Amino acid sequence: MAMKNSMRRVWMVVSLSVALLSFFPAWTGRTSWWMTGIAFFVFAIFLLEPWFLTWELRKRGEALQITDEGVLRRLARGDSEFVRWGELREVSIVMTQGVNLSEEFFYVLAGAGSSGVLVGQALATKYDLLSHLSKLPGFDHRNITTAMASPVNQKFTLWRAAPLEGEAVVVSMPRVGSPGPAEQQRLH
């Protein structure tokens, strides 16, 4: 991104320099105005390019892609959020009643690590997110009804991934002043 931005600046400086250097000969009538006009036009294009791109992104709005791999939310400003179905740890719904937001609730798809997606009510309805979430084993539809009836802002868990299988060892620390080594217990 930095390289693209610096090249844009180089082209802006070059086109503005050509425009300014060709302005006086054109003003005095020794050359045509074509070189000056084209150079100013190229400068204006490179100057206004960032505003055109942000306008296009705002016009496009948010989008949601639901595939066999996972859920991707593209934000209007160009960023994106993604979570893989295999890394999905929890699905919850957060109510925002009484808050001055355009959405009444949000779906929170929390993945392993820092992956996750926050999907607003309108976007979830537009892309039918609930039908995809209902395919998760043990998905609880009743909590959606409970959440909708809630008069307060609250988080309701709709689905949680099964805990990772394996054996955990708990090491209890000895108390200060008590004799003996630490005991180990196996949990299954």
121 and 173 Cβ atoms separated by less than 8 Å: no
Report residue 177's pLDDT band, with 50, 70 and 90 as the boundaries. Answer: low
Q: Mean pLDDT across the chain, nearest whole number?
A: 81
**Architecture (CATH level 2) of domain 63-160:** Roll (2.30)
Edge-to-edge strands of the sheet including 105-111? 116-120, 105-111, 88-95, 155-160
Q: 100-109, 162-171, 175-184 — which one is most confidently predicted on average?
A: 100-109
Lowest mean pLDDT among 37-41, 60-64, 84-88: 60-64
Break the chain into its structural domains and give their ranges: 2-60, 63-160
Angle, helices 34-60 vs 2-28, to 10°: value is: 150
